[in-house]
Amino acid sequence: MDLQSELLKSIWYAFTSLDVEQSGKVSKSQLKVLSHNLYTALNIPHDPVALEEHFKDNNNGPVSNQGYMPYLNKYILAKATEGTFSKETFDELCWTLTSKKNCKPSIQQGLCSQKDCFKLFCLFNLLSEDRYPLVIIQPELEYLLKKISSAMSLEWDGTLLEELLSQNVTLEDGMSVWEFLEHLSAGQLLHVESKEAFSLAVDDVFMEMYHNIIKKGYLLKKGHVRRNWQERWFVLKPSSVTYYVNEDLKEKKGEILLEESSVVENLPDKEGRRCLFCVKTPVRTYEMSASNVKQRVDWVQAMQTALRLRAEGKNSLHQELKLSRRKQRETLQRSQSNQSSHSEPISVEAPLHSAPEQQGETESLEQHIESIIQVTDGEQGKREMFEIASTLTAMEKEVQQQKKRIHELELTQVKLEEALNAQIHDRLEEDRIRQELERQLAEEQKKLAELLLHQSQLETLAVRSQEDSSTTTPPISQQTEESSQHNTEVRDKCVEK
């Protein structure tokens, strides 16, 4: 869906809110005010001459057969340029105009706050069908409810929606945004443990889907100048990767602009860092480290998705997913219509994903039914058709059981992969700890060898010093003898005198 179609959805709500009499027409003075506000919100230079010329009081005004759309397309939507205005501010303007009339007080007294209602309004428009009046069909509604439940770390329970649809059959064709907000706020679509957890979940889904955030989380990033590693909060969008000091997004540290020539690659472990990968742009290469192998795989795949969207000229992953889901539904509907057009009066619904052998058997049985109808219309033919129908029913049950077993095997495979990733992470962590201990042990052994060498050197110096002192100083006994002789000689001289 292009930018003009997205803007037109919100403008449609603003226009209909001004149609008090629900006649499909709005007074010229109200349309002037609306147009002026749209100019401001879309950051488009005002053209008062064209405005007055189109809204002059004659039969060619917007309330005539020409309507408001020609002016809206030519002077407003055609001049809106992506990136020059805040779409959230624009949607908030349209929400303010329409919520005053249509948002019941009971909605805000329930589960949804005013901010929650606005964010859900934007998500509704994102997933609604491209026809007017705007409605959201059941598959897209289930998709949104599952996203919110997952953000609350809860498993979505579809029984509430089934009960609501069974009580109100008109909702099966689609639900308006006001019906959606009313039933959600009344707790008729989701099991919610607390309003705080619900508001946080709505905000998380709003940031992901409305602001086109493919992935976000903490990574270690290597500096470009100081070359040190710092933890940063990364936000990945189809056109850029922005990183902040932390997840409150208050202090932005930098931005990586993704170009068509940009590449994301894994890197070998180095500098004591593991789970490394890099983003190469024409300007420079950015090196990052994830907390484990699984996180690195997730980030590399997410960035490759962003680069693919960039190369295809798409700016929203969820718009692409929505179109993909719509194509799948259309393909399924065509397939079912083709099957129903070729079916005979007695028909048994075949499973969507049968084994090739069972499909062949089913086709042969159907051909046999046709031959029975053509050959005879007696009791024997009816009995054979009944037996064949019973066989088809049994085969269908068997296929459903096989589907269930396959689903269980897929769940088991996912759990085994998670356990394997956890085991790989633990093994890598053990290797890192072992290498660190080996390094510390080697350092201790080196210090011990140096200490022993130093001690040996000290002992050698002590021995040498002792030897030197023994050669230069006469023994004590010799000194005593010489002293006694000297004293005797002195005494003898005194006697002679």
pLDDT at 202: 94
CB 218 within 8 A of CB 232: yes
How far, rounded to the nearest angstrom, does the alpha carbon of residue 430 sit from its chain's CA centroid? 30
pTM confidence score: 0.62
What residues form DSSP beta bridges with 231?
220
Instruction: Compute the average pLDDT of residues 232-248.
Output: 93
Q: In the block, which residue shows the tokens 């499973």? A: 351
Q: In the block, which residue shows the tokens 């599952």? A: 146
**What is the layout of strands, in order, in the sheet containing 215-222?**
252-257, 240-244, 229-236, 215-222, 285-289, 276-280, 263-267
Confidence of residue 296 (pLDDT cuts 50, 70, 90): very high
pLDDT at 428: 84
CB 132 within 8 A of CB 210: no
Buried residues in 418-429 as b, exposed as e (16+ CB within 10 A) = eeeeeeebeeee
285 has a pLDDT exceeding 80: yes
Nearest Cα neighbor of 3 from 325, 313, 330, 303 is 313
142 has a pLDDT exceeding 90: yes
Q: Please provide the DSSP assignment of 335-394 as one string.
A: HHHHHHHH--SS--PPPSS--HHHHHHHHHHHHHHHHHHHH--SHHHHHHHHHHHHHHHH
- Alpha helices (H) along 19-153: 28-41, 48-54, 69-71, 87-102, 105-108, 114-127, 138-151
Q: What pLDDT digit, counting tens, does each position of 304-330 carry?
A: 999 988 888 877 778 878 888 888 888
Rounded Cα gap, residues 316 and 306, in angstroms:
9
Q: What pLDDT digit, counting tens, does each position of 349-400 carry?
A: 434 444 444 445 444 444 544 444 444 444 554 555 566 666 777 777 777 7
Helices 195-209 and 114-127, packing angle to 10 deg: 40
Q: Give the C-alpha distances (Å, rounded to integers) separating 259 from 143, 219, 283, 303.
A: 31, 21, 10, 12
Q: Please provide the DSSP assignment of 191-250 as one string.
A: --S-HHHHHHHHHHHHHHHTTT--EEEEEEEE-SSS--EEEEEEEE-SSEEEEESSTT--
95 has a pLDDT exceeding 90: yes
CB 211 within 8 A of CB 317: no
Confidence of residue 196 (pLDDT cuts 50, 70, 90): very high
More confident residue, 486 or 28: 28
Q: In the block, which residue shows the tokens 């889901």? A: 325
Q: What pLDDT digit, counting tens, does each position of 25-43 carry?
A: 777 788 888 888 999 999 9
Rounded Cα gap, residues 497 and 478, in angstroms:
30
Which range is least confidently modeled, 21-35, 327-341, 357-371, 440-454?
357-371
pLDDT at 376: 40
The amino acid at 497: K
How far, rounded to the nearest angstrom, does the alpha carbon of residue 396 sit from its chain's CA centroid? 37
Angle at 270 between CA 267 and CA 272, to 5 degrees: 130
Q: In the block, which residue shows the tokens 């009944």? A: 386
Percentage of residues of the chain with pLDDT beyond 70: 81
Rounded Cα gap, residues 424 and 359, in angstroms:
42
| Peptide bond between residue 268 and the one before it cis (omega within 30 degrees of 0) | no
Rounded Cα gap, residues 309 and 324, in angstroms:
14
Look at the alpha carbons of 149, 153, 158, 164 in this order and tell me if their dihedral is positive or negative.
negative
Instruction: Compute the average pLDDT of residues 229-233.
Output: 93
140 has a pLDDT exceeding 80: yes
Rounded Cα gap, residues 290 and 302, in angstroms:
13
Confidence of residue 256 (pLDDT cuts 50, 70, 90): very high
Structure tokens at 339: 């099957």
DSSP 8-state class, residue 72: I
